[in-house]
Amino acid sequence: MAPFGPWADIPPKPLALVGNGLHLLEFYCRARGVCTAWRAALPPPVPSLVIVTIPPPGASSLYRHFPEVFALFLPAERLFPLTTFRRGSLCVGSSNGWLAVDARSCSLGIYLVSRLSGGKEIRLLPLRNDNKPVPKIVFAPNPKPDDYVAIAICDLRRLAYTKTRDMKWMILDVAIGERDKLIDLAYDTDDGKVYCVTLLGDVHVLHIPRRQRRRPIVEPLLAERAGLPFDPAAAYAAPYDTVSKFTAVKNVFFFGGNLYQVWRNVMKDDIFVLKYNPERRPCWDAVTDMGGYSVFVGKNHPVVLQPKDAPGVTANCVYWINEGSRNEPMVFDVVTRTSTLHPSAAKAMSPSFEPVCCWYFLDDKITEVQDNGRKRRQSIDHCEQVSKTSRKAH
């Protein structure tokens, strides 16, 4: 029998069949890491949506109490198992393949879990805030039981901060108005800061201490505003100083070294993308073009991509979750200013799925960024880290 040729010479169609037979996400990623030809034949599993299966009638007691959690790869309508949740648990964060889970209603506390790290869980300290649901948790990349940092929205006007070897969560007051509340967080891993935005558009910065005994500090984004009431007219160019009062959903994200916000009018599904310019007053103004990039916002750490980075992604779009309609994935075109259901959602979303309002990515870093007019590589591939880890293990 003739010897086998190089694996790279296997035609794309048989490779695609191989990929369809790999039902675990880590195996699929390892296959993509074999060589360039295999990566080309097997599309990256992004974008994906975290979903929970609804137990069918007559399901076993164990399945009813611990339904399975999947990453639904929308363009290919593929399901990859991630973990199991105790019913009543909430997914309150997602970053670099990890999920943050609030299972205090089930007496399981708050924890981080990743299928790609062997399904290991990192139990966080008990957070005592009257067992109110945590809206969102952000955390440092690559958490370990002996090395992690996590920040949560604790209640309307407070953040909770914990790190390795702390004895409890540190509760931090944020100086916002009585009629305002915290609604979103984003962790800037490059400078060790967490940016939080309020319902009315007030932005504050949590400075992560670099030394063990230092206390984190929360201050307004605009230093000159310290101790003063929030004034939308001083922060936002007209008419967005007024629009800020009518957009009930706000998210923050980073792109190319700049800070952005996404505002949504819940009644009309109208979305605005605003960019921060620290040299200008007012310092926030809307953009009508994202330079061909698109952003995914929600409970997840925001992810920015170009269409070439992921199948089915359209340029200059905001990908968001419609919490008012079965948590359906939506696409807002920044240029045409229209929101539509994700093109794969109608076929991929089954009545047996229970979306949990969270996009899922293995790697939160965008593939390329503009650096003084030149392209700078940040992350080669969304499965790259999984493949590297696999090769080291063997």
What is this structure's pTM?
Answer: 0.89
Question: Is 19 part of a structural domain of the chain?
Answer: no
In whole angstroms, what is the distance from residue 221 CA to residue 196 CA? 9
Asked if residue 129 lies in contact with residue 137, where contact means CB atoms within 8 angstroms, the answer is no
pLDDT at 57: 67
Range 92-106 average pLDDT:
92
With cut-offs at 50, 70 and 90, classify the pLDDT of residue 9.
low
Cross-strand partners of 122? 112
Residue 260 in any domain: the answer is: yes
In a domain? residue 16: no
Is the model's pLDDT at 393 over the cut of 50? no
CATH number reported for the structural domain that contains residue 250 in this entry: 2.120.10.30
Domain count, the chain: 1
Q: Are 151 and 137 in contact (CB under 8 A)?
A: yes
Most confident of 142-146, 194-198, 209-213: 194-198
Higher pLDDT: 256 or 184? It is 184
Which stretch of 23-37, 103-117, 333-347, 378-392 has the lowest confidence by average pLDDT? Answer: 378-392
The answer to whether residue 49 is domain-embedded is: yes
Is residue 24 included in any domain, yes or no?
Answer: no
pLDDT for 214 beyond 90:
no
Token pair of 394, please? 């063997």
109 belongs to a structural domain? yes
Strand partners, 10: none
Q: Over range 380-385, report the average pLDDT.
A: 54
Beta bridge partners of 39: none
Mean pLDDT of 242-268: 92
Does residue 14 belong to any structural domain of this protein? no
| Phi, psi of 363, deg, nearest 5 | -140, 120
Name, of 41-45, 185-189, 346-350, the range with top average pLDDT. Answer: 185-189
Q: What range defines the domain where residue 241 resides?
A: 44-389
User: Which of 33-47, 197-211, 344-358 is modeled with the greatest confidence?
Assistant: 197-211
User: Considering the chain, what is the average pLDDT of its residues?
Assistant: 84
Domain-located, residue 312: yes
Residue 254 has pLDDT above 50, yes or no: yes
With contact defined as beta carbons under 8 Å apart, do 255 and 295 qualify?
yes
Provide the pLDDT for residue 76.
Answer: 84
How much is the average pLDDT of 112-131? 83
Average confidence (pLDDT) over 124-144: 89
